[in-house]
Amino acid sequence: MTDQRATIMVVGLDPASSHVIATVVARHEFARTIVAEPGHAARRYEADRPAAVLLDADAGTLPALCELRRIDRDVPILIVSSEIGGNAVIEAMGRGIAGVLRKPLSEAEVERSLSGALDNRRVAAEIASLRSELRSGAPHPLVLGANARMAEVARLVERAADTDATVLIEGEAGTGKDLVARVIHDLSARRAGPFVKVTCGGLPDAALESELYGFERGAFSAAVHHKPGKLDFAHHGTLFLDEVAAMAPALQAKLLLVLQEGAFSRMGSVARVPADARLVATTSTDLAAAVAAGTFREDLYFRLNVVAVVLPPLRERPEDIRALADHFLRTFPVHCNKARPPIGEDTLRLLTEYEWPGNVRELQNTVRRLVLPGGEAEVRRELQRAIAARVSHPAPRERERPVTPSPPVAADDESAATPVAGTLKEIARTAARAAERAAIFKVLQRTRWNRKAAAEFLGISYKALLYKIRENGLDKPAPTS
């Protein structure tokens, strides 16, 4: 999960469903789960201000949904029902909900849905901060930094928001791609519509297809009910595809068809359903290189890349680090009800010297630690060690490494006659999988196998990381005696 201090409110849920949700929340160390009856939901919400709400559509909670929407139009609300295609769910979809969960609930589905809802809630809070600072005349350093490239990004985002064109946001993990996507939505003519996020990485192909397009009853053995997809929920709004490069070729082809025809088919149906959603996609990999390697469709790349927004890594905009740290410092104490602690000049100097492989997200988490008792001294020691290690053992980035030409192969060399193991596409896929496995293992080592911290560093959900750990056969090393 993304926010370890979030409170989840459940309204009208049956005991079995409540137990599943409580189990997921407890496993991720949330502060608490609060329970409310439909008639008291609004009062309880105003008292506790939870980060997300789950409503049981089977318990007559539609009036409660309307009340909650009047109080807070941004709170993510998930609907739980045994009849996904029932009238109550369909009416709820028209009032703006974050998703639908079918009974009986599975822990994996609850975890994924809550993660997405809380991610959206976090970004919405950052957008609210952006609006406040823009109204006061102060620039928002996440989008309007002092760096010339970020200033150009801000201008491009404003221009893109005025159109309905698809947008591709490229940048390393932690550079703020989610925030930029939400800013585009909030500045666009679709801002009154829903902003629906789909994380493309970490899900099996069939699960991702079901998530995007929904399915009809009987589409597969477990499809006992009709289920709407995220394209349904994004109607008149924005569909945000996070890490679109993770899509399998078959799903790339289906997405291309949606962009070409403005319609889609649910799993188990040939009927075409109109799609009215603006598409914004992100990637932390080089899609142009993926096209060249044959792992990503060229025609889909051009369809997505109508407006290209490239976010520079934080190491290439060191002049923004102090402004960003000051922004985060002003934000966190308000949340913690603490006075703003000053950051020492030595610490600020170290912040600007560090390379920030986790980019803005890593800086944000570091400043959050600075406001804790004794946090600045601990952060300063860690930064000093990291900077010293980099100086002693510099690791050139891929783009800086010299290319060593391969030695010529003699005509009678046996290796020259050895067939290549697979097509170029297969070789590229194998190399990509190996690189991903190595990167995940390195981050797990760096975080001492703290999976939550590793997921945040990698910019993927906790669920996606667990899936990738299993997929790559990564196991925590046994302690040595």
Section 316-344 average pLDDT: 75
- Total count of residues recorded for the chain: 481
Section 300-319 average pLDDT: 92
Q: What is the pLDDT of residue 223?
A: 67
Domain match, 331 and 205 both: no
Virtual torsion, Cα 8, 14, 18, 19, nearest 10 deg? 180
Section 319-325 average pLDDT: 88
Domain match, 368 and 432 both: no
Q: What is the pLDDT of residue 404?
A: 31
- Residue 70, both tokens: 């009047």
Q: What is the pLDDT of residue 67?
A: 86
3-state SS, residue 268: coil
pLDDT winner (highest mean) among 85-99, 157-171, 464-478: 157-171
Q: Is residue 174 situated within a structural domain?
A: yes
Q: For residues 229 and 414, what is the distance between their CA atoms, to the nearest angstrom?
A: 54
Q: Which whole-number Å values give the CA distances from 202 to 64, 248, 341, 455, 464, in the listed order?
A: 34, 12, 39, 11, 4
Residue 241: pLDDT band by 50, 70, 90 thresholds? very high
Computed over every residue of the chain, the mean pLDDT equals 79
Q: Residue 17 is which amino acid? A: S
Q: Is residue 121 situated within a structural domain?
A: no
Q: What is the pLDDT of residue 431?
A: 63
Residue 87: pLDDT band by 50, 70, 90 thresholds? low
414: pLDDT strictly greater than 80: no
Q: What is the pLDDT of residue 250?
A: 93
- CA-closest candidate to residue 440, choices 421, 467, 419: 467
Instruction: State the alpha helices, DSSP H only, in 162-248.
Output: 177-187, 205-213, 230-233
Q: For residues 441 and 472, what is the distance between their CA atoms, to the nearest angstrom?
A: 9
Q: Is residue 327 situated within a structural domain?
A: yes
Q: Is residue 460 situated within a structural domain?
A: yes
Q: What is the pLDDT of residue 451?
A: 82
The region of weakest confidence among 30-34, 79-83, 451-455 is 30-34
Domain match, 187 and 286 both: yes
Angle between helices 345-353 and 359-370 in degrees, nearest 10 = 160
Q: What is the pLDDT of residue 417?
A: 36
Residue 213: pLDDT band by 50, 70, 90 thresholds? very high
> Is the CB of residue 264 less than 8 Å from the CB of residue 232?
no
**All residues at 6 or more sequence positions from 198 whose CB lies less than 8 Å from its CB, including other chains:** 116, 208, 211, 212, 230, 239, 240, 241, 242
Q: Is residue 382 situated within a structural domain?
A: yes
Residue 218 carries which DSSP code?
T
342: pLDDT strictly greater than 50: yes
Q: What is the pLDDT of residue 130?
A: 59
Instruction: Point out which residues pair with 227 in neighbouring strands.
Output: 215
Domain match, 320 and 305 both: no
Residue 254: pLDDT band by 50, 70, 90 thresholds? very high
Q: Is residue 456 situated within a structural domain?
A: yes
Residue 102: pLDDT band by 50, 70, 90 thresholds? confident
349: pLDDT strictly greater than 80: yes
Residue 245 carries which DSSP code?
G
Virtual torsion, Cα 412, 413, 417, 419, nearest 10 deg? -170
Which carries the bigger pLDDT value, residue 341 or residue 471? 471
The CATH number of the domain where 470 resides is what? 1.10.10.60
Section 315-339 average pLDDT: 76
Last residue of a domain, one of 116, 148, 164: 116
Buried b (16+ CB within 10 A) or exposed e, 313-330: bbeebeebbbbbbebbbe
Residues above pLDDT 70, as percent of the chain: 77
Last residue of a domain, one of 295, 312, 329: 312
The CATH number of the domain where 377 resides is what? 1.10.8.60
Q: What is the pLDDT of residue 246?
A: 93
7: pLDDT strictly greater than 60: yes
Q: For residues 446 and 439, what is the distance between their CA atoms, to the nearest angstrom?
A: 11
**All residues at 6 or more sequence positions from 270 whose CB lies less than 8 Å from its CB, including other chains:** none
177: pLDDT strictly greater than 80: yes
Half-sphere exposure of 386 (CA within 13 A, CB side): 15
Domain match, 368 and 281 both: no
Virtual torsion, Cα 234, 208, 98, 232, nearest 10 deg? 30
> Is the CB of residue 331 less than 8 Å from the CB of residue 322?
no
Which residue segment(s) compose the domain that 95 sits in? 7-116
Q: For residues 113 and 52, what is the distance between their CA atoms, to the nearest angstrom?
A: 10
Q: For residues 118 and 1, what is the distance between their CA atoms, to the nearest angstrom?
A: 8
The dihedrals phi and psi of 149, each to the nearest 5 degrees, come to -65, -40
Q: Is residue 124 situated within a structural domain?
A: no
The model's pLDDT over 420-432, given as tens digits with 9 standing for 90+, comes to 445 554 555 566 6
The model's pLDDT over 277-301, given as tens digits with 9 standing for 90+, comes to 999 999 999 898 899 889 999 999 9
Domain match, 157 and 256 both: yes
Domain match, 186 and 86 both: no
The region of weakest confidence among 7-21, 83-97, 182-196, 451-465 is 83-97
Domain match, 279 and 171 both: yes
Q: What is the pLDDT of residue 117?
A: 79
Which is it for the CA torsion 61, 62, 67, 71, positive or negative? positive
Section 344-371 average pLDDT: 89
Section 54-77 average pLDDT: 83
The CATH number of the domain where 210 resides is what? 3.40.50.300
Q: For residues 126 and 117, what is the distance between their CA atoms, to the nearest angstrom?
A: 14
Q: What is the pLDDT of residue 224?
A: 63
Angle at 112 between CA 88 and CA 126, to 5 degrees: 90
399: pLDDT strictly greater than 50: no
What is the number of domains present in the chain? 4
410: pLDDT strictly greater than 80: no
Q: What is the pLDDT of residue 95?
A: 64
144: pLDDT strictly greater than 70: no
Domain match, 242 and 158 both: yes
**DSSP H/E element including 239:** strand 237-242
Section 447-476 average pLDDT: 77
Section 71-76 average pLDDT: 82
Domain match, 370 and 481 both: no
Q: What is the pLDDT of residue 298?
A: 93
Angle at 186 between CA 181 and CA 187, to 5 degrees: 100
Q: What is the pLDDT of residue 240?
A: 97
Q: What is the pLDDT of residue 202?
A: 78
The CATH number of the domain where 78 resides is what? 3.40.50.2300
Q: What is the pLDDT of residue 4?
A: 43
Q: For residues 142 and 205, what is the distance between their CA atoms, to the nearest angstrom?
A: 34
Section 36-63 average pLDDT: 85
- Residue 148, both tokens: 């010339």
396: pLDDT strictly greater than 50: no
Section 308-335 average pLDDT: 83
Residues above pLDDT 90, as percent of the chain: 20
Q: What is the pLDDT of residue 132?
A: 58
Q: Is residue 417 situated within a structural domain?
A: no
Domain match, 320 and 308 both: no
Q: For residues 188 and 163, what is the distance between their CA atoms, to the nearest angstrom?
A: 7
Domain match, 149 and 284 both: yes
Q: For residues 100 and 90, what is the distance between their CA atoms, to the nearest angstrom?
A: 10
Task: Render 344-407 in DSSP notation, one character per residue.
Answer: PHHHHHHHHHS--TTHHHHHHHHHHHHTSTTHHHHHHHHHHHHHHHHHHS----GGGSPPPPPP
